[in-house]
Amino acid sequence: MIATSNFNSKSITRMPNPLGYDYLSAGPAFRWQEIYEFLNPTGFIVAGGRVGSVGSSLLLGGGLSYLSSIFGWAANNIVQLELVTAQGRILTVNQNSHPDLFWALKGGSNNYGIVTRYDLKLYPSTAMYGGTVVWPANATRQYLQAQTDFILPGGGSYDDNAAIMPNFNYNPVTKTSGSGTVLFYNAPVDKPRALENFTAIPLESGGAKVQNYSEITATTTGYSPRTLRWSFYNTAIKSSEDTMGLIYNTTTDLADEMLSGVNCSTGSATQPITVNHLRAARAAGGDAIDLDPDRGPFVIALIYVNWSDAKDDAIVKSYTDRVLASLEQQARAKDLHYPWLFLNDAGVTQDPISTYGYGASLPRMQAVSRQYDPRGIFQHSVPGFKLGYEAHGY
């Protein structure tokens, strides 16, 4: 067992410097809330994780930020990493020193070594609008329509300053639903027009206002309580008038059929991915994820279940498999299927890396692995989403 919990240093390097950016250097032990609070007095932010309790490994899976429509994946904002290879070499990895390895690490998870430092671009910051809001059960359909309007052409997602982290939940025992989101706008504007369909829904709890970045992310502290069992899997569906209804109806209908006797909650965190997000990712130098902006916008449908009793593990897995298969079948029939999986939201039986670049990235990622880990230590001895044994001829 190797732990990096003592790698907790944080420092700022200002311009001029050889990397050409103001940047934050941080050891991998951090949680994002620590980073945002550290940066508060400086007037800078980084394009990092949206939930304060999430850790640094988000970066190696790509990572979503509230600023992704401006700056791409969180990984696109890495300017340099310090990496220890399986042979014990300590490498400083950037676009100039090890360009193929740098590309592969942006989405390549733990397949290449142990990261002991991240250097992340800094951006000037002012107060912003945001916070976590929760809507009552009778507002779920209004929420679904608000998100539909948000993702369609001309909707709020076409304003690069606007972002949401939405969710709906459903209890198949009580037949009740709920919904909520983190609202975000990258300017000190109260109730911006891009978010007006959401702010028009009467609240059950929470709220959004103009405040600093760390105060917005602090409202996420209650996400995914660890007192429950959790299942996370995802699929991707093109943005359309039908998308949100397809996800909601499939999730809830199958829950009624399969989970009515299970003390659980299911639902979907349905995250919009914009064309400008994908353009920004390429403009920042690209990554192993390598999605084409010309294919248009889509949503990541994270399908989750939380439950309390281990005896229900098998039925929960069967339910999740049915939901994913049904969503893919229906999406394909409507020409809405998007052939990619998000590693950060993937389930243990999914294979997200094989979908990178719509299948084209894997051979290059395997070649990088053979160069920097010729014995395949990180393929065979380290769990996670792997590149396939064929990467090393085993």
Which whole number is the average pLDDT over 170-181? 97
**Exposure of 3 by Cβ count < 10 A (0-12 exposed, 13-18 middle, 19+ buried)?**
exposed
Tell me the pLDDT tens digit for each residue of 238-277.
999 999 999 999 999 999 999 999 999 999 999 999 999 9
Q: Which of 78, 84, 141 is nearest to 106 (CA)?
A: 78
| Predicted pLDDT at 298 | 98
What are the b/e assignments for 31-54, b being 16+ CB within 10 Å? ebbbbbbbbeeeebbbbbbbbbbb
Cα separation, 213 vs 261, in Å, equals: 41
Sign of CA dihedral 156, 158, 163, 169: positive
The pLDDT of residue 79 is above 70: yes
Tell me the pLDDT tens digit for each residue of 138-149.
999 999 999 999
**If you compute the radius of gyration of the chain from its CA atoms, what whole number of angstroms results?**
21
User: Are 363 and 388 contacting, i.e. CB atoms less than 8 angstroms apart?
Assistant: no
Which whole number is the average pLDDT over 184-196? 98
| Predicted pLDDT at 390 | 60
Is the peptide bond between 16 and the residue preceding it cis, with omega within 30 degrees of 0? yes
Tell me the pLDDT tens digit for each residue of 373-390.
999 999 999 999 999 866
- List the end-to-end C-alpha distance of the chain, in Å, as a whole number: 24
**Band (287; pLDDT cuts 50, 70, 90):** very high
**Band (3; pLDDT cuts 50, 70, 90):** confident
Tell me the pLDDT tens digit for each residue of 318-347.
999 999 999 999 999 999 999 999 999 999
Apex 239 CA angle, 237 and 242, nearest 5: 85
The pLDDT of residue 392 is above 70: no
Cα separation, 233 vs 209, in Å, equals: 32
Q: What percent of the chain has pLDDT over 90?
A: 94
